[in-house]
Structure 1
Amino acid sequence: MINKKLQPLLIYISKYIDLTNEEITFLESKLTIRNYLKGQYILQQGDVCQYGCFILSGCTRTFYVDKDGQEHILMFGIEDWWASDMGSFITQTPADFNVQCLENTEVVMFSHKVNEELYKEIPKLERFFRQITERAFVASQKRIVRGFSLAAKEQYLLFREQYPEIEQRIPQYMVASYLGITKEFLSKIKSQLVLE
């Protein structure tokens, strides 16, 4: 019998590929579900990323700390999203990023070793992971272009439009860090928007 907790993951996978009942049973036997408390790290900068994590519930942030101790947020993760340092996971080299839980968070963990086994046993899962990796790559490139081409106010409005549920769940200084601006400047932008 399929673990009900895995239902969101199976629904997500079904948007890309169809799995038989036998394949679902095999997949389930290889996965781990883990709970993290708010503030806990799924991954720390410098460690090798051993797991790709599908978020069942909760919220995460992926960020790095520069040599001056300044935090830079690259992305947030909520239900039905993935959280890991993809570069570290794929290459099995030290992570550039931290992944920290902003709420109590429950994830399904795909270990690097298990992924290779899944690719052999259920080849269409390799196609699934290729597709989500391609989508992540495209989103990353678009974010870089927006950072170069949009003013801070436009970036904030786009963030609010694309991720309305995230802003309600995270502190404003983290939104500012994600946008690459100070929290004071974000407050100024929000004040201007109220007056418009």
Structure 2
Amino acid sequence: MPNRIVDFLSRTQTIPTTEAEILTSLVKPMTLIKGEYLNFEDKIPKHGAFIISGILREFYTDAKGVDYIRRFAYENWWMVDLYELLQNKPALCSVQALEKTELLTFTKEDCWVLMEKCPVASKVLEEISAAEKYSLAKKEKQKRSLSAQENYEYLLKLHPSIDKRIPLFHIASYLNIKPESLSRIRKQMSLTK
């Protein structure tokens, strides 16, 4: 299983064997059951993670107790804010499993070892982190410029059948609409098929 992270990083650049061995020795498998948390908002995160299987949601809660989903993270992707992890900063968001989720986790100390002993893998991780920040900003802009239906259709295009894996009230939160509005959108879409 730890080789999955090396395979993923190797998509953009060849990871030297010695670095791959160090990387696979650093990551630790973790299983979250549905509803379990990886990190909590306002608490210093202990882990970053690479998702082997399952889905995580990253969200924050406002003063009224309403959750706002920032993103979903799926198989073969990351759930880490390197700044928070490396600088011991309280997490801006909580991270929760939406289904049984298999992870490869790494700590702050693991990241420092990686940066010191694995320059190629470290560089790829930094590029991925920068790309993720850009992607999140781009998605936020898109969510604000498209209608709720267009955003929902786009989500389904990127992740077909995701509506069968993620509760609809979470999808509605991600789209910044009420669950009733998502129900109307889904009904309207089924009528136009």
Shorter-chain TM-score: which interval? over 0.9
1:177 and 2:173 are equivalent in the alignment? yes
Report the equivalent of 2:139. 143
* Residue identity in the other structure for 2:52: L
Structure 1: give runs of 5+ residues left out of the alignment: none
| Structure 2 contact 6–24 (Cα < 8 Å) conserved | no
| Structure 2 contact 6–23 (Cα < 8 Å) conserved | no
CA change 1:159–1:88 in 2 (3 A) is same
Secondary structure of 1:164 counterpart: coil
Q: Distance in 1 between matches of 2:148 and 2:134?
A: 21
* Residue identity in the other structure for 1:125: A
Report the equivalent of 2:25. 29
* Residue identity in the other structure for 1:10: V
1:52 and 2:52 are equivalent in the alignment? no
| Structure 1 contact 85–97 (Cα < 8 Å) conserved | no
1:79 and 2:75 are equivalent in the alignment? yes
TM-score w.r.t. length of structure 1: 0.92
Q: CA RMSD in A?
A: 1.4
1:91 and 2:87 are equivalent in the alignment? yes
Alignment of 1:1-196 (within 5 A): 5-196=1-192
**Cα deviation code 1:20-43 (max 9, x no counterpart):** 322222222222111121111000
Percent identity, aligned pairs only? 30
Q: Distance in 1 between matches of 2:18 and 2:138?
A: 38
Secondary structure of 2:95 counterpart: strand
Q: Distance in 1 between matches of 2:138 and 2:16?
A: 35
TM-score w.r.t. length of structure 2: 0.93
Structure 2: give runs of 5+ residues left out of the alignment: none
Q: Distance in 1 between matches of 2:189 and 2:161?
A: 19
Q: Distance in 2 between matches of 1:115 and 1:44?
A: 20
| Structure 2 contact 41–91 (Cα < 8 Å) conserved | yes
